[in-house]
Amino acid sequence: MKKIGIMTTGGDCSGLNSVINRVVLGATNRGWRVYGIVDGTDGLCMRPANVIEMTPQTIPVELARIAGSFLHNGNACMMNFETAAKTGRMLKFNKMLKDSLATLKLDALVLVGGNGSFSLSYKNSEIYNDLSLVCIPKTIDFDIPLTDKTIGFDTAVNELTRYCDQLLLTARSHHRWFVVQTMGRDCGRLALHAGIAIGADAIIVPEIKFDVDDLVKHINACERDYGIIMVSEGITLRGHSGRPADMISRKLTAAGIQNRAAFPDYIQRAGDTTATDRILAAKMATCALDAIENRETNVMTALRGNECVTVPLSEFYAAGDLVRDPNIPELCTSNAYIEPDDPLLDVATAMNIYIGQTK
């Protein structure tokens, strides 16, 4: 009988409980035992490791739709990769993780995480030498290379869209523009997708240069005197500091455009998991379990069209743009961004949305 572990790491999002539930259901159906690692790698540093045996009743199917993670994603009070790097204890930390996994005697580990977690796993692969490591991509940022979708992205787009739908009603009542700041770090995909969904009049993302004067001209030329200007949190504005939405808002105010900045913040990570994300969770869970059965290791699941496949972590790492992690100086993470030929950019242009200097 196989013993597999599962843990969630990095930022939370909707879909984590769905993928945990689907992994447990699928593994139980194969006659395997499943152990949930609480608080991810942080929980592995506890003595003994913070682990619970899971059954299909641990997260009932009717609760698998809720946001967050039943297993939690980490605990700032414990040692983790960031604190270990800052205090020069990375070797000790890695040894603690390896010793915990050896004590648990797992045959495989399913790691549900983002590009930071995957990059760490690839660069510290010796931790997982004695088991099969299979990673499942989840992130509202959709910044993981080599997969057509990540768990949590669709729900985040829906939550952000609902938020903006309500803002538009008060915007119309007061003849006012709202500058909405989205999450996404240095990737603008969340802003781009939600912006098109709500019919924003402008979408400002980190990947595309923009000119504030051109933005002001575009807003002044609109037939309406209200609407949404979507701004990704990763943008910068030369000579200005502060939150991106506030910076843009001040520029609009100076130009005589009535506006307010709005910050949906963590509600983008919340909300009942959409059907699309639940189906993706089921596909990726099944793909991960198949990979374990086939004795694959150091791979991630990836959606390619309608099919779920596995990709070596080495290919994931090589495929993305490597960016130095601000909290772990010796680590570069592999990142994906909006491509210049993304069809949604043409859609935005056709909708008369100001998207910046695309062509």
> Which active-site residues does the annotation give?
141
CA distance 130 to 140: 31
CA distance 270 to 263: 14
Where on the phi/psi map is residue 113: left (φ > 0), alpha (ψ -120 to 50), or beta? Answer: beta
CA distance 228 to 251: 15
Angle between helices 153-174 and 275-293 (to 10 degrees): 160
Burial (CB count <10 Å: 0-12, 13-18, 19+), residue 242: exposed
The answer to whether 145 and 334 are in contact (CB under 8 A) is yes
Q: Which amino acid is at 212?
A: V
CA distance 358 to 312: 33
What CA–CA distances, in Å, run from 265 to 76, 160, 181, 189? 20, 9, 8, 16
Q: Is 178 helix (H, G, I), strand (E, B) or coil?
A: strand
CA distance 109 to 4: 6
Token pair in block for residue 125 = 């692969």
What is the CB neighbour count within 10 angstroms for residue 54?
Answer: 23
CA distance 28 to 295: 18
Q: Which amino acid is at 355?
A: I
Nearest CA-CA partner of 222 in 344, 346, 345, 351: 351
Q: Which amino acid is at 252?
A: L
